[in-house]
Structure 1
Amino acid sequence: MTRVATRREEILDAAIDLLGTRGLRALTHRAVDEAAAVPTGSTSNYFRTREALLIGVAERLEDRDRADWEALNRLLGPVTVEHLVEGLARFILHATGPDRARTLARFALFSEAQTMPALHESLQRGHRRLRDWAIEMAAQVGIAAGDTTILVDYLDGVVVHRLGGAGTETDPRAALERLVGALTADLS
């Protein structure tokens, strides 16, 4: 049974799409109302300020990421090196393909967070949760927590480059296999 999104979630999803497709300047309460097809003033009722809206977007991104990670874990089953590589490759392809707008929205938030401490903390909290999830998965195949940071940083770089158009014609699996292989080499 699929859960129906609340009005607040619909507004935030529209804000994410607007932010990811049209940028920070396009993100206004009125534009979100229009994109979400809700009565004028609805976004403002939930999020009084721009900062509150941006923090809401960051939290909604984190919720959606968590749901995606849980679905991916169920799909892949027990973690093996092959499953880890496959899961990471799927993450890259999804983040830069079907979920491109959501990824671009996240990057737009990073820029804005430099002048908004509460938004910065919200984004850092989400990043820590992602890192903890990655550490947990990588530990199952013997990758140390410190080495998982290398893997997470690599993923961030690949996603940024693919969003910019570099490497979009290549499958990320081969490079991931090499990196994961190098990180697990001393285990053999």
Structure 2
Amino acid sequence: MSGKRELVLDAAIELLGSRGIRALTHRAVDEVAGMPAGSASNYFRTRAALLTGIAERLEARDYADWEALNRRPAPATIEDLVDGTAALVVHAVRTDPTRTLARYALFQEARTSPVLRETVRSGHRRLTEWAASLLANVGGDRATTQILVGQLEGIILHQLVDPTPDFDPRPVLDRLVRALIASND
């Protein structure tokens, strides 16, 4: 069960992903969360603190999604990795596109906010290191991880902007992962 702080952050993510960065105010977050006025500001005194909290919550939800969408915490085979990654991509663009759009709005905002930029960078590094540990189980290395993470971000972004009705990332991801792993041999 989520606590009130997480409810505030989830409402902020919903607001950011559905209405954009300009709509993100403490008052609007309170309304979306269905909480009394001042609740968001009790947890996050400044806009910068709220944005940092959103970035951290997005990262935590990414880990939770992987666990919920996959049979194992770490893939044992390339097929496991491809299946899990494809499920995560479909989740990002079909099941929870608002959250994905919130992430991209944060990336854009981080360009002009040094504190948020560092939070986003740190989160990206942690997620990339985590992905590297998953890829290591099937023969991947850091370079493989960086390429795959970049490709995943691109695939997701393109599907959000120009959705394909019969979108299935699995064949492309399978080819990509196998080529990257083979280049390590």
The TM tier, using the shorter chain, reads over 0.9
Q: Percent identity?
A: 56
Q: Which of 155, 168, 171 is the aligned partner of 1:171? A: 168
Q: Which of 146, 150, 155 is the aligned partner of 2:147? A: 150
Conserved 8 A contact 1:19-1:108: yes
> What residue is the counterpart of 2:25 in the other structure?
28
Q: Distance in 2 between matches of 1:160 and 1:54?
A: 21
> What residue is the counterpart of 2:118 in the other structure?
121
Q: Which of 39, 43, 66 is the aligned partner of 1:42? A: 39
> What residue is the counterpart of 2:62 in the other structure?
65
**Which amino acid in structure 2 is aligned with residue 46 of structure 1?**
Y
Q: Distance in 1 between matches of 2:184 and 2:31?
A: 55
What is the aligned length? Answer: 185
Matched, 1:105 2:107: no
Equivalent position SS for 1:115: coil
Equivalent position SS for 1:97: helix
Deviation at 1:163, TM superposition (A): 0.6
Structure 1 portions without partners, runs of 5+:
none
Conserved 8 A contact 1:17-1:105: yes
What is the TM-score with the length of structure 2 in the denominator? 0.93
Deviation at 1:78, TM superposition (A): 4.4
Structure 2 portions without partners, runs of 5+:
none
> What residue is the counterpart of 2:157 in the other structure?
160
Matched, 1:54 2:51: yes
Equivalent position SS for 1:89: helix
Deviation at 1:185, TM superposition (A): 2.2
Q: Distance in 2 between matches of 1:76 and 1:39?
A: 38
Conserved 8 A contact 2:75-2:81: no
> What residue is the counterpart of 1:184 in the other structure?
181
**Which amino acid in structure 2 is aligned with residue 129 of structure 1?**
R
Conserved 8 A contact 1:76-1:87: no
Runs of 4+ in 1 over 6 A off after TM superposition: none
- CA gap 1:78/1:66 in 2 versus in 1, 3 angstroms: closer
Conserved 8 A contact 1:161-1:167: no
Conserved 8 A contact 2:89-2:152: yes
Conserved 8 A contact 1:84-1:138: yes
Deviation at 1:184, TM superposition (A): 2.1
Q: How big is the alpha-carbon RMSD for the aligned residues of Structure 1 and Structure 2?
A: 1.7
Deviation at 1:144, TM superposition (A): 1.8
- CA gap 1:107/1:168 in 2 versus in 1, 3 angstroms: farther
What is the TM-score with the length of structure 1 in the denominator? 0.92
Deviation at 1:79, TM superposition (A): 1.9
